[in-house]
Amino acid sequence: MPFATTLRRAGASALAIGVLTSSAMLAATVSASAATGQLTVCSQGDYDSFVEFPARGGMTTVIVDSGHCMDFDFGDSNASEPINVFGLQDPAQFWIGSGSFRPSEGGTVTTHGSSAHPWASIPDA
């Protein structure tokens, strides 16, 4: 009997740890989502990055350093607007890709790779 009780306790502990781990992973996923009106830019490659808004007169976000994320507030418009994503590794600036952003939905741009082989996940609203 003592062995069966120990086995049940170990199983219950493993289940509790699994539930806590799953909850923590879900919380991390939810916090990575952009809020309404917000564009999140994450530079996960080995270069810095920024986003340009051609329909806003070429306005850009500030440069987001490699390994960091920043949030930018763009209101709550329902209009979809084009965006261009650029990488920067001094002194070179390079185009990575284009997409569209709808402020009312929010969005996230994440750049990856190296300056020689950059790529990004870009919203297409």
Same-domain status, 81 and 110: yes
Residue owning tokens 């965006």: 83
Same-domain status, 44 and 104: yes
Q: For the segment 53-74, what is each residue's pLDDT rounded down to a tens digit?
A: 999 999 999 999 999 999 999 9
Same-domain status, 18 and 54: no
List the domain range (segments joined by +) for residue 42.
34-121
- Amino acid letter, residue 121: S
Query: What per-residue confidence (pLDDT) applies to 9?
Result: 52
Q: For the segment 74-94, what is each residue's pLDDT rounded down to a tens digit?
A: 988 999 999 999 999 988 999
> How is residue 36 written in tokens?
């309404």
Confirm if 109 and 74 have CB atoms less than 8 A apart.
no
Residue owning tokens 């539930």: 19
Maximum distance among all Cα pairs of the chain, rounded to whole angstroms: 76
> How is residue 92 written in tokens?
């070179």
Same-domain status, 43 and 88: yes
Same-domain status, 57 and 6: no
Query: What per-residue confidence (pLDDT) applies to 52?
Result: 98
Same-domain status, 8 and 46: no
pTM tops 0.95, yes or no: no
How many domains does the structure of the chain reveal? Answer: 2
Question: What residues contact 34, with CB distance under 8 A and at least 6 apart?
Answer: 40, 71, 106, 107, 108
Q: For the segment 12-44, what is each residue's pLDDT rounded down to a tens digit?
A: 444 444 433 333 333 333 334 567 789 999 999
Same-domain status, 67 and 39: yes
Residue 43 φ then ψ, to 5°: -100, 95
